[in-house]
Amino acid sequence: MDDLDTVLVKYDSETGIGTLTMNRPDALNALNGQLRDDIIAGLEQLETANEDADGVALRAVVLEGAGEKAFCAGADIGGFSDESAGGSSGRTHYDFIRDFPTPVIAKIDGYCLGGGLETALACDFRLATEGSTFGFPEVDLGIIPGAGGVQYVTKLAGPAVAKELAMRGNHISAERADDEGIINHVYDADSFDEDVDDFVTELAGQAPLAVQAVKKSAHMAVHSGLNEGLRYDSQVFAELLTTEDHAEGAAAFAEKRDAEFEGK
């Protein structure tokens, strides 16, 4: 993998786990145009590695922030004007994360604010340390979260929580974010790396085609009508019954052993 100006890219072909590290620690990994572009470029690198994989195909992507203070503290103030701008395709890094076929896990340690929280919300899972904090401080600058943060927190935690975060601009703890359903798990800082590794490794060991189908089904449940989502689930269920992964899963169940899925 080729490191980018503001993102470090790693791919473990033995486990199928990729890692993108937002690498602007002196700026608390604040989003600027270069970092947004590099997140997209990093995902594209991992997608290419997935297509060309000699070992295990890509199973999961971890998105984290460099340094000890922040996952991402928001957008550089000078970069607010391009908050909703996409790359040459018109798609933002939020779009790339949401649409990426493989699950993306936000590994959050420290500040997760503004556009950083919106970046985490675009991910499939959000895992955080107990000392992490979350919020939308944009109101202090006379603006609102520009990439759907209010929409997504409303869907996850309800309008009262979303309005409190976006109207008051206060930070909330990881424990409250967990209680409200904004994040998935809170871990002790001392065991955070190990706990995240366990979570991601377990996820990466599941049947890749089924995992990808669940991601798409959940996305449709949020963005499409119920009937369309039900048709998709029924169609994909029938398709997955014909896969080698299903045959392997059934055989492993009957033989009381762990399945070894290959994404076929």
Residue 260 a catalytic site member: no
Q: What is the b/e burial string over 185-211, where b = at least 16 CB atoms within 10 angstroms of the residue's CB?
A: ebbeeeebeebbeebbeebbbbbbbbb
| Catalytic residue flag (residue 118) | yes
Looking at 68, 138, 180, 202, which residue is catalytic? 138
- List, in order of start, the domains of the chain with CATH numbers: 7-205 (3.90.226.10), 208-255 (1.10.12)
* Tens of pLDDT, residue by residue, the chain (264 residues): 778 999 999 999 889 999 999 999 999 999 999 999 999 999 999 988 766 656 568 999 999 999 999 999 998 876 555 555 554 457 899 999 999 999 999 999 999 999 999 999 999 999 999 999 999 999 988 999 989 999 999 999 999 999 999 999 999 999 999 999 999 999 999 999 999 999 999 999 999 999 999 999 998 888 888 888 899 899 988 999 998 889 989 998 999 999 888 888
Point out which residues pair with 126 in neighbouring strands.
Answer: 106
Catalytic position from the list 51, 118, 194, 244: 118
CB 83 within 8 A of CB 30: no
Answer positive or negative: Cα dihedral of 72, 76, 82, 88: negative
